[in-house]
Structure formats: structure tokens, C-alpha cells
């Protein structure tokens, strides 16, 4: 039977705290499950909200190399503080066939109940993304109603006469690229003028 290789991840928020308790408990958990500890990844003095953490970055790199079969943590909040960050990591683990276990919260994605939790987290994250998208669209619509221009400002504004001349020259066969250059506008602006 193939030995299950486990990566342990521990984290504390300040340098004066210790990860020894977490590591000891997680090693005992791995021993109880008959898993081989491949490596312990430890971040000292990093907030769980921080996207970039040296040990976590190493763990995610090693995930892509399939150096272990399971990631074992003490609690979710030791690993990630945001749902988006957690779900993103879980999706990466799933892609490479790696299970995720939170020892004190009885979450194990190798079990049917753990798989259910993963699906729930995924659904919540998708809902959160949809809400953010709605808020962004509502904000943009409000800005437009208030007369704000969305996006990059044009290189230059064309007068009504210039717009008419540009359209006329395009109908006579000049390319949009040539027209954009001669009128000092972007290719997209020339295209928009001619398509209206």
C-alpha cells in the first residue's frame, strides 16, 4: 500500500508566538493516520490575510510538483483568512489530486463529508464573486448616469466635422489605421466613428 505523504502548514501572526504546539499536534495527527510527514511549512509573523507568505508560497509551489498527497493544518484561519484565498488554494489542491485536512475542525476532503464542505465553500465563493460583479456594474452605471466617462480618456476628441470627414474618407476606401494616424486618434476611435 502506498504511503500517504503529508505537508504540514503552521502559522503565527507575530514573531514572539510559537508554532511548536500546532506542529506537535499535527505530527501526532499524521502519526495516528499513518501518514509520513514530508515537510513542515511554517510562517512566523504573517497575518492570515496576507496573500504572500514565504512558507505558503513554497507549499503552493510544491503542490504543483506533487511533492505530497495531503495538506494538514491546525485550523482554517491558520491557512487563510479570506474565503476567496481558501477556495483558490482548495481548487489548486483538487487540480493536483491533493487532499486538505483541518485537524481541529474535522474537515477532510478525502472523505465524503469533506467533499461536501468543499462544494459549499465553492458555492459561497461563487456567490461572493457574483455579488462583487453586481456591485461593480451598479457603480459603473451610477457613474455613467452622473456623466462620468468610464475607461481611459480618448487621445483627442473629434469635432462633428472631423467625424463626418473621417467617415467619408473611410467610405472612399482609406483604411481605419491610416485614418486613425492622420486624425491623431486610436484605431478603436476611428472604428467607432465609422461604425456609428
Express each pLDDT in 163-184 by its tens digit: 999 999 999 999 999 999 999 9
Q: Could you confirm whether 110 is annotated as catalytic?
A: no
What backbone phi and psi angles, to 5 degrees, belong to 37? -75, 115
Residue 50 pLDDT: 72
134 assigned to some structural domain: no
Final residue of a structural domain among 115, 144, 171: 115
pLDDT at 42 over 90: yes
Kindly state whether residues 14 and 109 are assigned to the same domain.
yes
Among the three residues 59, 90, 115, which one is the final residue of a domain in this structure?
A: 115
Q: Are residues 31 and 107 in the same domain?
A: yes
Span 35-50, average pLDDT: 86
Examine the domain organization and report whether 106 and 169 are in the same domain: no
What integer pLDDT is reported at residue 1 of this predicted model? 62
Domain count, the chain: 2
- Asked if the structure places residue 127 within a domain, the reply is no
Taking a C-beta distance cutoff of 8 angstroms, is the pair 190, 179 a contact? Answer: yes
For residue 56, the SS3 value is helix
Evaluate whether residue 135 is within a structural domain: no
Residue 111 lies in a domain: yes
Do residues 72 and 31 lie in contact, with contact meaning Cβ atoms separated by under 8 Å?
A: no
Give the helix ranges, DSSP H, for the chain.
20-32, 54-64, 76-79, 83-95, 112-145, 160-171, 176-183, 187-195
User: Of 13, 18, 82, 175, which is the active-site residue?
Assistant: 13
The number of residues making up the chain comes to: 196
Strands 36-44, 5-12: pairing is parallel
Same domain? 109 vs 55? yes
Identify the domain containing residue 31 by its residue range. Answer: 5-115
Amino acid at each position: 500500500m502506498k504511503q500517504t505523504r503529508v505537508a504540514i502548514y503552521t502559522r503565527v501572526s507575530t514573531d514572539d508566538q510559537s508554532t511548536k504546539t500546532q506542529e506537535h499536534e499535527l505530527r501526532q495527527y499524521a502519526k495516528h493516520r499513518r501518514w509520513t510527514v514530508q515537510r513542515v511549512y511554517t510562517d512566523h509573523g504573517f497575518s492570515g490575510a496576507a496573500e504572500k507568505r514565504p512558507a505558503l508560497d513554497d507549499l503552493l509551489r510544491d503542490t504543483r510538483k506533487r511533492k505530497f498527497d495531503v495538506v494538514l493544518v491546525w485550523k482554517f484561519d491558520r491557512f487563510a483568512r479570506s474565503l476567496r484565498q481558501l477556495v483558490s488554494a482548495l481548487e489548486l489542491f483538487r487540480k493536483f489530486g491533493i487532499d486538505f485536512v483541518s485537524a481541529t475542525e474535522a474537515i477532510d476532503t478525502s472523505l465524503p463529508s469533506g467533499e461536501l464542505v468543499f462544494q459549499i465553500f465553492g458555492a459561497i465563493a461563487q456567490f461572493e464573486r457574483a455579488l462583487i460583479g453586481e456591485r461593480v456594474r451598479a457603480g459603473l452605471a451610477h457613474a455613467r448616469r452622473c456623466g462620468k466617462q468610464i475607461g481611459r480618456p480618448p487621445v483627442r476628441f473629434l469635432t462633428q466635422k472631423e467625424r463626418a470627414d473621417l467617415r467619408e474618407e473611410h467610405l472612399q476606401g482609406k483604411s481605419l489605421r491610416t485614418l486613425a494616424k492622420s486624425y491623431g486618434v486610436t484605431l478603436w476611435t476611428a472604428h467607432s466613428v465609422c461604425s456609428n
